[in-house]
Copies of this chain bind each other. A is one copy, B any other.
C-alpha cells in the first residue's frame, strides 16, 4: 500500500505523525489532506531520513534546493558540500539535477547522505545515456524511460519530475502560440524534440499508467513537470502554459486514483500582477494539488540577483497558495551555482516562505517575529543574532559594529531611538 492508499483507508502512519509533529497540527488533518490530494509527504518506501515534511494546504511553505553537476562541470565533493550547505540553511528538500557522466554516482551519494527528501528529473538520465550511445532523444521509446525511473526508484528517490503534460495537443497549442522564448525547460526541450520528430503521442503521456505503476510500487511522489513554463515574463500565463496545466490536472487525478501522491510544477517567469491568478488557477484546475513553483521570477533582468527576483515572486506566490518554492540562486541564467550561490539562494527562499507564512497568519511565523522584536527592544544582541535567518552573517555584521560598551550600534550610536524610548519609559 502507498501512503496515499493508507490515508484513504483512514490509517494514520508514523510518517504522518512525524510530519504533523513538525507542523504542530493534528495528524488527522494531514491524513485527510493526503487522502484528498491537497497534501503530500514525499518519501520512497526504500529510503528513510530524519526530516519528514508534508507539503500542501495548511502546511508551512517548504523550499527545495537544486544541486547537481552538469556536463561542463562535475565535482562530487562540491555537490555534497552544496547538500550540506542547503540543509544547514534550512532547505526542506533537494533535487539532484545532475546531468552527465557522473550523474549516477552523485545521485547515489546524495541519496545516502541527505537528511531531507530527494527529487530527480529522470529524463535527464535517459537523455544523457541515449546521447552517450549516439542515439537521438527522438528515438526514445517508453521502455528506455521506464527503465530509468525503475532504477532511480529502486535507489530510493523520493519524488520525480515527469513531463507527461507535453502532449501532441499542448505541442500544437504551443506551436500556434508564437512565443518570444519558446521552451526553456530542459526536460521540456527533450520532449519537444521527441514530438517534433515523431508523429505520435508522447510516450510519457500514452504510457502514463505504466509510469504510475512503478511510482506506486516504490511509493515515489510524482511531480508533474511544466515543460511549457514561460522563460520570459512576456510569455507568462499564455495558452501554451495553461493548456499544459489543464493536462497536468487530469493526470493528477489519474495518479491519485492509483494511489500515487502528486505535486504540480509551476512557473517560472511571471510578472508580479499575474502571480495570484497563476496560483488560483493551479488550485482550481488541479483539484487543490500542492503547487511547486520553480523560481517565480518577477523580472527577466535580474541576472546575478535572481534570488532576489525569486524571493519577491516566491513570497507573493506562497501568500496566494503556492506550497513549495524552488530555490533560485544568484547564478541562475549564468552558470552552475557555487556553494555560496546555493547558500544565498536558500536564505532568500526561506525569507520568502517565512514572509508568506506570516502573511497567512501561521503561528510559528508570528512567534519568530515576536522573539526578534522583543530582543530588539531589550537591545539583546545575542538573541537578535540567534533569531536571524543567518546567525553567522548577523554576528559578523554586529561584530563590525561594536562601539564602546553602550550596547548600541554604529547606525545611530548614542542617538539610538530604542534606547531613548526605553529610558523615557523606565
Contact indicator A183/B421 (Cβ below 8 Å) = yes
A233 beta carbon closer than 8 Å to chain B:
yes
Quick one: CB contact mask for A267-305 with B, threshold 8 Å, 1 for yes? 000011110000000000000000000000011111111
Quick one: CB contact mask for A176-207 with B, threshold 8 Å, 1 for yes? 00001111111011001100100000000000
For chain A residues 221-250, which have a beta carbon within 8 Å of chain B? 231-235
Contact indicator B273/A359 (Cβ below 8 Å) = yes
Chain B residue with Cβ nearest A388: B303
Contact indicator B403/A72 (Cβ below 8 Å) = yes
Contacts of A299 in B (CB 8 A): 351, 354-355, 358, 365, 369
A18 beta carbon closer than 8 Å to chain B:
no
- Judged by DSSP, the binding face of A is helix
Interface centre among A301, A333, A377 (most CB of B within 10 A): A301
Please judge, given known A-B contacts A272-B316, A398-B335, whether A71 and B303 are in contact too, CB under 8 Å.
no
Contact indicator A304/B397 (Cβ below 8 Å) = yes
User: How many Å lie between the Cα of A330 and that of B396 in the bound state?
Assistant: 12
Contact indicator A421/B189 (Cβ below 8 Å) = yes
Quick one: CB contact mask for A248-278 with B, threshold 8 Å, 1 for yes? 0000000000000000000000011110000
For chain A residues 331-358, which have a beta carbon within 8 Å of chain B? 331-336, 347-348, 351-352, 354-356, 358
Please judge, given known A-B contacts A99-B412, A192-B421, A304-B388, whether A355 and B180 are in contact too, CB under 8 Å.
no
A58 beta carbon closer than 8 Å to chain B:
no
Contact indicator A373/B180 (Cβ below 8 Å) = yes
Please judge, given known A-B contacts A304-B389, A389-B303, whether A182 and B377 are in contact too, CB under 8 Å.
yes
For chain A residues 298-325, which have a beta carbon within 8 Å of chain B? 298-305, 307-309, 311-312, 315-316, 319
Quick one: CB contact mask for A371-413 with B, threshold 8 Å, 1 for yes? 0111011000000110111100110011011010000111111
Please judge, given known A-B contacts A334-B401, A372-B300, A397-B335, whether A186 and B231 are in contact too, CB under 8 Å.
no
Chain B residue with Cβ nearest A273: B359
Contacts of A192 in B (CB 8 A): 420-421, 424
User: How many Å lie between the Cα of A208 and that of B195 in the bound state?
Assistant: 72
Task: Kindly list the 3 A-B residue pairs having the minimum CB-CB distance in the complex, ordered from nearest.
Answer: A335-B401, A232-B373, A189-B417
Given A100-B413, A336-B401: 17 more A-B contacts, CB < 8 Å? A71-B412, A73-B410, A180-B377, A182-B418, A184-B417, A192-B421, A234-B366, A234-B369, A234-B373, A272-B316, A272-B356, A272-B358, A300-B368, A303-B372, A303-B394, A305-B347, A334-B397
